[in-house]
């Protein structure tokens, strides 16, 4: 978790509480062949009645506060997992800003999916022959998602970044998914083109 001054630090703590509630709705879900996953269909409205707290969110590139804030961390991870399961992405909305430098990034720029109840969703469809089960958990530092299949998957997938470009104002790239059979790449597809306005200074070389 990033180190923020108050009041944002307390809001980050609330984010953990919000994620714990949302994780319970997703943990253990199964996605059969041909079945679709919808983030908001599972999680539902992030209301105070359900126990959701005010959490930090980013709106138009600025830090803001919303009940249930912080759930994009879960939707980001689910999108990354869906890409590696070979799912067809039915609905995904990219972040329009790049808020943090790469020292805080463990996946390529643009590998996330923002959500906003109930009209900005993350939806994907299982187009494989396997049934997948998602196990999701959270501790004080990390969010974990493990995907299990009812049989050995026919293919494996890897997601790479291509056509990366960055200047003082804008960053863009393509996310390309490779389908693997053993060690051989048998197909490749561009699954997303990302553009984001930088909200931090790029150091000069």
The model's confidence at residue 106, banded by pLDDT at 50, 70 and 90, is confident
The model's confidence at residue 191, banded by pLDDT at 50, 70 and 90, is very high
Q: Of 53, 45, 47, nearest to 69 (Cα)? A: 53
CB distance 79 to 92 below 8 Å: yes
Bridging pattern class, strands 97-98 and 184-198: parallel
CB distance 52 to 21 below 8 Å: yes
pTM beyond 0.85: yes
pLDDT in tens, 135-177: 999 998 899 999 999 999 999 999 999 999 999 899 999 999 9
Q: Across residues 47-73, what is the average pLDDT?
A: 89
pLDDT value of residue 79: 98
Burial 151-186 (b: 16+ CB within 10 A, else e): eeeebebebeeeeeeeeeeebbbbbbbebeeeeeee
Bridging pattern class, strands 156-166 and 36-38: unpaired
Question: Residue 21 above 80 pLDDT?
Answer: yes
Where helices occur in the chain by DSSP H, the ranges are 8-26, 39-43, 72-84
């Amino acid at each position: 978790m990033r180190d923020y001054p108050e009041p944002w630090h307390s809001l980050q703590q609330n984010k953990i509480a919000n994620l714990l509630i949302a994780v319970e709705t997703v943990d253990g879900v199964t996605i059969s062949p041909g079945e679709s996953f919808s983030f908001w269909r599972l999680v539902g409205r992030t209301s105070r009645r359900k126990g959701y707290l005010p959490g930090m969110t980013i709106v138009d590139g600025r830090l803001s506060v919303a009940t249930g804030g912080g759930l994009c961390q879960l939707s980001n991870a689910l999108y990354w997992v869906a890409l590696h399961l070979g799912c067809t992405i039915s609905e995904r909305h990219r972040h329009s800003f790049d808020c943090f430098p790469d020292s805080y990034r463990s996946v390529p720029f643009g590998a996330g999916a923002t959500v906003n109840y109930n009209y900005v969703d993350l939806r994907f469809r299982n187009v494989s022959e396997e049934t997948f089960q998602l196990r999701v958990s959270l501790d004080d530092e990390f969010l974990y998602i493990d995907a299990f299949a009812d049989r050995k998957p026919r293919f494996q997938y890897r997601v790479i970044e291509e056509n990366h470009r960055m200047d003082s104002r804008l960053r863009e790239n393509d996310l390309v998914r490779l389908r693997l059979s053993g060690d051989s790449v048998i197909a490749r597809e561009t699954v997303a083109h990302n553009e984001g306005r930088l909200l931090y200074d790029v150091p000069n070389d």
